[in-house]
Structure 1
Amino acid sequence: MEKQSDNSNTGGQPERFIPTELDGARLDKTVKQHFQLPWGKARTWIDTGKVFIDGNCVSDQAFSVTAGTRIELRMSQPKTRPEPRLDPQLVVHFDAEVIVVNKPSGVMTVPHPESDEEETLDRLALEYLRAKDPKAVSNRASLGVVHRIDKDTSGLVVFARTYAALKALSEQFRAHSIERRYLALVHGRPKAQSIVTRIARDAGDGLRGSVPEGSVNKMGEELGRHAVTHVEVLEKLEGSSLVACRIETGRTHQIRIHLSEIGHPIIGEKVYVRGFAGELIPAGRTMLHAERLGFIHPGSGEPVSWTEAPSKDFQKLLRALKRA
């Protein structure tokens, strides 16, 4: 026998049966009509897990309903969130002001206008925070970006969770007081040195690179921006070296450019090779890792720092070069 529509509330919770005229209708349309709601509220209730069909939570707005089944609203039902896609082991630290993540290679730090990649590190980190720290008032619409590392590069990145943290960290980056140390596997055997140049978007060959001091464009404006990289040789290997780079400035591709310009491009480098005459050692990516990150915490005012070992592919190549 067909069930009749029941528009009464039981125990303060509205419980109704879906009438024949809505047989096969979308769930959002059914919720809108049954409970006389605007479209937006009907869809929000579905998205937040408040709509139950025959006792089962249904969060698909396009779900096709069947006449005679019971539709129920459970207003106290908490919203269920999917498990975050970011590997929890990559989250080095988070608190009310910041989150520090050990970025894997192959992931963009932030979206790029010329890329349609959606799983960028900032979005994955925000998704993680909303799942693991759902009541935080600092779950902004987006994380504050104060620096970034290349897609191929692995290592430590910090994002701000509040405007105050974003401002404080940005000031430290502008003052070059942030501690940043990178590890790189490079071709050949460089000497320990400090590289100080001006890096321009086009060094004359269509690529970013250093330009002579005092170079100007057609408007008489000085070309390039001041860039400083301190290079330390950690280990000499077969036809290559393990080096540490401490940067005072954070120009785009700075380490890659500077190491290439002194004749020792990073292993795996595909852009900044600039006439390197030796045999290139093959690698699946640019072997550059942001090993250490330190700054004054925007909340406590105390110095904080983290160190993360290179990823497995970096260490595997390092071991192979040692054996050779």
Structure 2
Amino acid sequence: MPDFGTNLDTNRNAEQAYTLIVEEAEKKLRLDKFLADRLPDLSRSRLQALITQKCLLIDGAIIETPNYRLKVGQSVSLSVPQAVDPEPVAQDIPLDIVFEDPYLLIINKPSGMVVHPAPGNSDGTLVNALLYHCGEDFKGIGGVKRPGIVHRIDKDTSGLMVVAKTDECHQGLVQLFAAHDIERSYNAVVWGYPKPASGRIEGNIGRSPKNRKKMAVVPRGGKAAITHYKTLQILSSGAASLIECRLETGRTHQIRVHMTHSGHPLLGDPLYGSQSQSRIRNLPSAAQEKMKSFERQALHAKTLGFIHPITKEELTFSSELSIDLKDLINSL
């Protein structure tokens, strides 16, 4: 991280830092316009706020005016402070509860629901719903009355999740996940059909060097990841397939990344999928129509099994595919 100098208070807690040099074609540009062009992942309003909050230096001096006009060769340094999660509030949001006892819950999460509040999704999340549903049932996770989120599934992935109510149960579940003693399987619809029909995909997963918003199988670094897959049904004469994936590890976007790496991205995946028109034209007409409105990755957390950390009971759960996934498969 670049040294922005002792006068930039926010640098100590910076999540990201950028140093940019003004080029000839950028002279006399407004500072906020220059930053918006160079850093498209940050909105112009967000950049303007950072400038007025003294998060920016030009040639070592703090600049607080977004309309500052730039000169060729100037060094522009921006520090983006780490985002702070908002305090979750209880909200009356319906939940599909598969199992509940005094220690944990099994939730069948719908697609479109974010698990935990974060910048851009401060409410309407699974945590908000759980706080309302459980209330005083939460005995405290790390000294705070909140749900113990042990694992997450992506916003647009549907299916089963386990949530702890007590600190003891939370710690037990964490240990089970760390030891890979949780049985998990997912159903996915992928482009083409894998050869062989079943197998093992192994490849370290880390941040993509080409797109920092994506994960990728990386040749160096990253975290070890292993996915086992099995073809359940070939669809549309091989244009797509329904597969089952079982995880040995639980990396961010693991199934989506590994299936894309193997040449079979998930249908509807906006980040990793290849929704080319040539592929879509190979589908039946009903499926082509369905794909126009199917705006999420075709992925469902189908089964979940483990030994209850407190009661030592063997628990196994399975959930039906969501209606939109069933419709997609039927159209294929």
| Shorter-chain TM-score tier | 0.5 to 0.7
Q: Any conservation in 2 of the 1:122–1:159 contact (CA below 8 Å)?
A: no
Aligned to 1:226, what secondary structure does the other structure show?
coil
* Aligned pairs (5 A) from 1:16-165: 84-87=92-95, 90-112=96-118, 114-130=119-135, 136=137, 138=139, 141-165=145-169
For 1:181 and 1:203, how far apart are their aligned partners in 2? Answer: 29
For 1:137 and 1:104, how far apart are their aligned partners in 2? Answer: 23
Q: Alignment length, in residue pairs? A: 224
Which of 193, 206, 225 lines up with 2:199 in the alignment?
193
Q: Any conservation in 1 of the 2:148–2:163 contact (CA below 8 Å)?
A: yes
For 1:193 and 1:117, how far apart are their aligned partners in 2? Answer: 40
For 1:291 and 1:119, how far apart are their aligned partners in 2? Answer: 23
Higher-Rg member (1/2): 1
Alpha-carbon displacement from aligned partner over 1:140-187 (angstroms, at most 9, x marks no partner): 621011000000000001111000011000011111111110000111
Root-mean-square deviation over aligned CA pairs: 2.1
Who is 1:263 aligned against? 263
Q: Any conservation in 2 of the 1:232–1:243 contact (CA below 8 Å)?
A: yes
Q: Any conservation in 1 of the 2:94–2:129 contact (CA below 8 Å)?
A: yes
For 2:275 and 2:322, how far apart are their aligned partners in 1? Answer: 29
Alpha-carbon displacement from aligned partner over 1:80-118 (angstroms, at most 9, x marks no partner): xx994224xx11111111011000000001122x32330
Who is 2:251 aligned against? 251
- Which letter does structure 2 place at the counterpart of 1:208? M
The percent of aligned pairs where both chains have the same amino acid is 37
| In the alignment, structure 1 residue 314 sits paired with structure 2 residue 312 | no
Cα distance, 1:235–1:141 mapped onto 2, change above 3 Å:
same
Who is 2:230 aligned against? 232
For 1:83 and 1:142, how far apart are their aligned partners in 2? Answer: 13
Q: Extract unaligned runs of 5+ from structure 2.
A: 1-89, 281-287
Q: Any conservation in 1 of the 2:91–2:124 contact (CA below 8 Å)?
A: no
After TM superposition, give the deviation of residue 274 of structure 1 in Å.
6.6
Q: Any conservation in 1 of the 2:103–2:165 contact (CA below 8 Å)?
A: yes
After TM superposition, give the deviation of residue 138 of structure 1 in Å.
3.1
Cα distance, 1:137–1:260 mapped onto 2, change above 3 Å:
closer
Q: Any conservation in 1 of the 2:91–2:128 contact (CA below 8 Å)?
A: no
Who is 2:295 aligned against? 284
Q: Any conservation in 2 of the 1:194–1:228 contact (CA below 8 Å)?
A: yes
Cα distance, 1:123–1:175 mapped onto 2, change above 3 Å:
same
After TM superposition, give the deviation of residue 129 of structure 1 in Å.
2.0
Aligned to 2:296, what secondary structure does the other structure show?
coil
After TM superposition, give the deviation of residue 197 of structure 1 in Å.
0.6
| In the alignment, structure 1 residue 301 sits paired with structure 2 residue 312 | yes
Aligned to 2:279, what secondary structure does the other structure show?
coil
Cα distance, 1:137–1:246 mapped onto 2, change above 3 Å:
closer
Who is 2:185 aligned against? 181
Q: Any conservation in 1 of the 2:139–2:167 contact (CA below 8 Å)?
A: no
Aligned to 1:279, what secondary structure does the other structure show?
helix
Q: Extract unaligned runs of 5+ from structure 1.
A: 1-81, 216-222
